[in-house]
A and B are shown apart, each in its own frame.
Chain A
Amino acid sequence: MSDLELEKFEAELRNLKPARPAEELVVRLEAELQARHGSGLTVPERAAPVEPRRGKFAWMARGRLLGGWFRFQAEGTRLLSARIFWWLAPVGCALIIGAVLMLRNEGVHSGQPGQATELSARSTAAGDNVEIDRQLVAAFDAVARLPDGEPVRFRCHEWVEAVVWRDPAGGVEVESQAPHLEIVPVGLETF
């Protein structure tokens, strides 16, 4: 059998598509997988990217698609920078809240002296008014190869740190969200 014949026959076989399994099997499997592993937020390497479950964080998924360099490039420096600067998100949130509080206080002091004490007392942030939330947006594995060709698997979790400060009396709500990437090497594995 010549190479040309082989290629032609191969193409002919590729044209045949495997038959779809019974719908019942797919439904059963889907239900089992969802029950055990959630809704399947991410897809494996080489597959198409997907949207996240929560519309609230859709911007995060778009950012992930555009800047998805973390998924495929587990290079040392980039991993290191992600580890070093993870604290920027919560610190940034705290600074923003502090700045807002200071500006409000200044606004109150520059008003009428009689109302200043009352208003500044009202604008003080109570502990109950600050809500700190942490959402897991995506979880995926990245595989890098050592110089000797040995694969190293990294488990990557994308989190969104959200800090919300509410002042019901003043009708003010400040919300700050910042992404946070957590990368953990999970060992050497071959399939």
Chain B
Amino acid sequence: MARQSEWRRWLDDQAPKFLLFARQKARCEADAQDLVQEAVLEAAGRVGSELPPPPALVFATIHRRAIDWARREERRAGRETAALEPAMDLWFDTDVERREHAQLIQNAMRRLPEIYREVVTLRIWAGLTFVEIAEMLGIPANTVASRYRYGLAELRKLTKEVLA
């Protein structure tokens, strides 16, 4: 069996995290995948050589590109919205027993305001530090920490509401 390329290993490790973040920023699954692809290629191009880009750089690129896309979308609002498939795949890999729980978290995450959702996602599933998230979003690290705490509390509340 041929040895996997280093890019493949890196993608196997990082792409699920990038996609999870992109899914929260994009309107549909296809957009999320495009966002990941463009961000990875752009970040790799910026780093140059054969060095995989730092994950924080890819997340920052996804974030910036998603904002650009959203601005473009505002200009052509409603034109294609009807043709989109709003339903996305499951955000998390789980076994059958935990699928319901994962779906519950996913639904709660969707209801969470974006400023909290992005911080929670980047901290928990992307593994970035508060400082890295602060640099990426251009806000103070203390703000990131408080958004994270508030986001977790809100997420907990939302999941409890469903279970109640």
Instruction: Give residues in A with beta carbon < 8 Å to B.
Output: 1, 5-6, 9-10, 13-14, 16-22, 25-26, 28-30, 32-34, 36-45, 47, 50, 139-141, 155, 190-191
User: Can you list 21 contacts pairing A with B, beta carbon distance less than 8 Å?
Assistant: A14-B125, A16-B92, A17-B16, A18-B93, A19-B16, A19-B19, A19-B92, A19-B93, A20-B15, A20-B93, A21-B33, A21-B36, A29-B7, A29-B15, A30-B7, A33-B7, A37-B48, A40-B52, A42-B51, A43-B52, A47-B52
Residue of A at shortest CB range from B154? Answer: A1
**Interface pair B50/A41, CB less than 8 Å apart:** yes
Would A50 and B6 be within 8 Å (CB), given that A13-B124, A21-B15 are in contact?
yes
Give chain B residues whose Cβ lies under 8 Å from the Cβ of A39: 5-7, 50
Complex interface bits, B151-162 against A, C-beta within 8 A gives 1, otherwise 0: 011011000000
Residue of A at shortest CB range from B22? Answer: A21
Across the interface, B52 reaches (CB within 8 A) one of A1, A14, A44, namely: A44
CA distance A40 to B17 in the complex (A): 20
- If A6-B152, A25-B33, A41-B6 are given as contacts, then 7 extra A-B residue pairs at C-beta distance below 8 Å, sorted by A number, are A13-B105, A14-B124, A18-B17, A22-B33, A37-B49, A43-B10, A50-B6
**Interface pair B102/A10, CB less than 8 Å apart:** no
**Interface pair A26/B152, CB less than 8 Å apart:** no
**Interface pair A190/B135, CB less than 8 Å apart:** yes
**Interface pair B16/A38, CB less than 8 Å apart:** no
Give chain B residues whose Cβ lies under 8 Å from the Cβ of A22: 33
**Most chain A CB inside 10 Å of its own CB: which residue of B15, B41, B155:** B15
Give chain A residues whose Cβ lies under 8 Å from the Cβ of B50: 37-42, 139
Would A5 and B51 be within 8 Å (CB), given that A16-B105, A20-B93, A34-B7 are in contact?
no
Binds A, one of B53-61, B66-74, B78-86, B139-147: B53-61
**Interface pair B149/A6, CB less than 8 Å apart:** yes
CA distance A14 to B17 in the complex (A): 12
Whether B45 sits at the interface, judged by CB under 8 Å, is yes
Whether B64 sits at the interface, judged by CB under 8 Å, is no
CA distance A41 to B51 in the complex (A): 7
Give chain B residues whose Cβ lies under 8 Å from the Cβ of A45: 54
Give me the 4 closest cross-chain CB pairs, A-B, nearest first.
Answer: A40-B6, A18-B16, A18-B20, A40-B7
**Interface pair B44/A25, CB less than 8 Å apart:** no
Shortest Cβ distance from residue A8 to the other chain B in the assembled complex, whole angstroms: 10
**Interface pair A191/B54, CB less than 8 Å apart:** yes
Contacting A at CB under 8 A, from B7-41, are 7-13, 15-17, 19-20, 33, 36-37, 40-41
Residue of A at shortest CB range from B16? Answer: A18
Give chain A residues whose Cβ lies under 8 Å from the Cβ of B130: none
CA distance A190 to B153 in the complex (A): 31
CA distance A47 to B6 in the complex (A): 11
Give chain B residues whose Cβ lies under 8 Å from the Cβ of A140: 51
Give chain A residues whose Cβ lies under 8 Å from the Cβ of B44: 33, 36-37
Give chain B residues whose Cβ lies under 8 Å from the Cβ of A21: 15-16, 19, 33, 36
